[in-house]
Structure 1
């Protein structure tokens, strides 16, 4: 890449830094959340929301639990104006929710804004003007004192309009493009506005310090916030707010460090919608706090439904890897990850009261409405035996022995690799059934009879190449007696017989499922699975399955030789 020398660091460090925020480990209480979806988010949409869509989105924000919602720029368009009037006149704003409106520091815009606010029970009037070096030099071409005068005159007019307008109003000021402003000047202009509004216990003022454009690493933004928080006048009656954008991909980090540095209020949007790379994502911020055991006081317990409404109304899409809400964020394809997750989930079943600590899962997906089935483990050619076994257990109650999972895992991965596709649970079950369950070729089990229980002598009936035969055998148990009969008849040798079984509920009926594995003379394991209402019969069917595989392998070797 060329021309790197034309880029300079356009931000300003505060003249005094203490960095006390660095001593804090985590955010121990939620901020005041202010959604700016309906203003900052809406103005960034290719197709802005209609009046009806904005009303539905407002209700979504209320349902999530926002107590402050910026509803628009009412002087900007008739839709914005009509939306605010509809909220007030139709009494759609809950008593515990404040609406917020944005206004430039221009007389006719401020006056139009208060016309729209008439009758509002609780409203924040948000005044802003740009303060950065770039804006002063290139856009306004005014010196610092003229920029301060724009802010002060707007603050005075807001105060006058509020005094003669029906409603209950709180004031907020933002030095827009704060991050590109000299800190001493940002402090001076905020304090001049505060001198006009005279904050008090009954009249708290919000000073919002936006990363209108994110220009620095997050620790610099935190130092800027801490400096302002420490030096603002009337500090005990001033609420310090942050409004990070995501130009550098650090919006969440900017907000979190800003809160450590003294901010107690955050403006952002659901899923980070907003101009350019977007606003800070409040979903991620809130659930990050939740992962530390702090109640964010926003309800994202039905994240899929929230995401669906958001996508329908904004026509935007939440990426598959978006934290918490993305389709794949709780999903593991990697074999080692799947194995660790499966073992972690089993551990929680053993010790359900322990703190959440499942490997690779920051929070319990169920807490935000995600399901284990289909969300946590999905299968492709990168998957491993643990994940594949987990799918069979979760979807079909088949609890394969550890040794069998490895054998089956290779079969599944081979199919996925050749298809070059993810496999659904029903496909995995079909592979298992076709390759392991009640295998009847080349030898079919027809039945058995025990004639002497002292040495477990048995007569077993089989069909081999379409010819029915009876075999006799004895052993130290029923399954061993059948095994001995088959080994003798087929002139095969195997050892290390492994046997597992469990009940399997299938609708209104209960079946037994058995797994049998044997090692051939080369030490290779061959597996079979039997399904039958009778536990002994299921065991025999499983034995036939692995012996049929062993016979097939032998036949293939003879052909190749």
Structure 2
């Protein structure tokens, strides 16, 4: 890297727009959406999709709700042409969906594009040529007038060929490629010349697509470009302003959202941002950002895992674990404080009424995972950095165990030590296995072999408990009376000199419903030496679960 002063790179500049209005606005309407997965996304793949993969992805896009789908560049490759023809000839295009084809503003390519569209019900011809100073100088060696003439001549040719698509509803889209690096007044000049050649109406507007072909500056400058263009365009009501951002600086989503604030009507992009270099705009992110703000995007991502699965299979690409909304880890918390806050938020929502009518407010989760077809079970995952609340959450949600709050540190530390010793994340089953080994299966020094209880006739409350136990490997029979089975068992232990503790907490709840219901009991003991510990017992019998919990706590205090 060059050291300061840096002369190799320069700031792009700003737009003279002192009275800009976009910072005062909010996104309160849904744009027209256009997927370019099958064209812009496909051309960026190391191994482009074949017709089979493109058909599957097209079907997914239509089911998600896209009404405009750019299906390819049929004049550039036979596969692209054949795919377009198959969609039309096999009647695979749902009613109301327009297929869009891309073509350079060159006569033979435009004519070939029209051949590909014969028989289509609705079509958008997307014609483009590059307008930036860099492209004019380096790629074409042409003047501004020559570049503008290419655009106008291409549009005039398209208009003259409309009769060849009799019965097809044809719309025009024009893109001054590299708009982001083109002088805004010149881009406006070219687009107005194109409009004059096409003669759009308010009922049938032209689509003017203003691509940030390469992202060169901060999103606020992009917004200024779009607002300046919209405010200065003649007959603005006869044009739909379309955005097509890329992600070279990592701000494609922000640039699009600010572009919509600046007056744009339409958005082009791809699922999960697939595209050249660092990718196109991610339509999933923008749509779900709107949804999380209470605006229906009119795209259905209620089964986002399925959308991702088809996308990954057809494109060969993978969605990053941290990718917004769709990544494996986006609804996951490892941090202990985050886990605790999420658990409290979930519990409070359950108490207050977990319905779509109630405003979603859960710490660290901007959206309800269930709205995207994802489950709560994966929200909290456990590693050595996790906290007590996260472990308790997993045991509650996955296994129905509602641990007493004071018990959380014991269980959390136990599981975190396990994760730390193995230097990895623990799955839910492993968390439960760790809990089970410590709290349910520890049988030394005390083990309950069997017991019997019966009510004492002359008392309404007292019971007698006769139990067989092992203590330090020796079998003993003990007997005691008390106010309930647990109290009677404690007196039985005391009769053999085994009571060096006091019972400080007891809780019980059911797990499951119906005939398969079990009881979970939690007992805390404190020894004379001051050591306190919880134990747990699980059994179909409420009575036995309590006794097992006491034995568990006894063993854990040793």
TM-score grouping bracket, smaller chain normalisation? over 0.9
The one of 514, 536, 539 aligned to 1:532: 539
Displacement of 1:539 in angstroms is 1.0
Given that 2:455 and 2:462 are in contact with CA atoms closer than 8 Å, whether structure 1 keeps it comes out as no
Matched, 1:444 2:451: no
Displacement of 1:311 in angstroms is 0.6
**More off after superposition, 518-527 vs 484-493:** 484-493
Displacement of 1:449 in angstroms is 4.2
Give the match for residue 412 of structure 1.
415
Scaled by the length of structure 2, the TM-score of the pair is 0.94
Scaled by the length of structure 1, the TM-score of the pair is 0.93
Given that 2:490 and 2:499 are in contact with CA atoms closer than 8 Å, whether structure 1 keeps it comes out as no
Displacement of 1:208 in angstroms is 0.6
Give the match for residue 541 of structure 1.
548
Unaligned runs of 5+ in 1: 553-561
Displacement of 1:492 in angstroms is 5.1
Residue by residue, what CA displacement relative to the aligned partner does 1:382-440 show, whole Å, maximum 9, x if unpaired? 11211111111222211111111210111111111111121122211111111111543
In 2, Cα distance between equivalents of 1:77 and 1:205: 27
In 1, Cα distance between equivalents of 2:383 and 2:134: 51
Give the match for residue 38 of structure 1.
38
Unaligned runs of 5+ in 2: none
In structure 2, relative to structure 1, the CA distance for the partners of 1:179 and 1:7 (3 Å cut) is farther
In 2, Cα distance between equivalents of 1:458 and 1:86: 81
**SS of corresponding position for 1:70:** strand
The one of 503, 513, 518 aligned to 2:520: 513
The one of 362, 367, 380 aligned to 2:383: 380
The one of 381, 395, 398 aligned to 2:398: 395
Give the match for residue 433 of structure 1.
436
Matched, 1:91 2:95: no
Alignment map for 1:3-402 (pairs within 5 Å):
5-9=6-10, 11-24=12-25, 26-166=26-166, 167-352=168-353, 353=355, 354-373=358-377, 375-402=378-405
**SS of corresponding position for 2:520:** strand
CA RMSD of aligned residues (A): 2.0
**SS of corresponding position for 1:96:** coil
Displacement of 1:381 in angstroms is 1.2
In structure 2, relative to structure 1, the CA distance for the partners of 1:311 and 1:82 (3 Å cut) is same
**SS of corresponding position for 2:121:** strand
In structure 2, relative to structure 1, the CA distance for the partners of 1:482 and 1:38 (3 Å cut) is same
**SS of corresponding position for 1:367:** helix
Displacement of 1:138 in angstroms is 1.2
The one of 445, 452, 462 aligned to 2:469: 462
In structure 2, relative to structure 1, the CA distance for the partners of 1:2 and 1:450 (3 Å cut) is same
Residue by residue, what CA displacement relative to the aligned partner does 1:35-66 show, whole Å, maximum 9, x if unpaired? 00111001111111112221221111101100
Give the match for residue 495 of structure 1.
502
In 1, Cα distance between equivalents of 2:298 and 2:425: 38
**More off after superposition, 489-498 vs 433-442:** 489-498
**SS of corresponding position for 1:399:** coil
Counting matched residue pairs gives: 549
In 2, Cα distance between equivalents of 1:528 and 1:43: 61
Given that 1:12 and 1:179 are in contact with CA atoms closer than 8 Å, whether structure 2 keeps it comes out as no
**SS of corresponding position for 1:6:** coil
In 2, Cα distance between equivalents of 1:449 and 1:91: 76
**More off after superposition, 383-392 vs 245-254:** 383-392
Given that 2:479 and 2:495 are in contact with CA atoms closer than 8 Å, whether structure 1 keeps it comes out as no
**More off after superposition, 432-441 vs 88-97:** 432-441
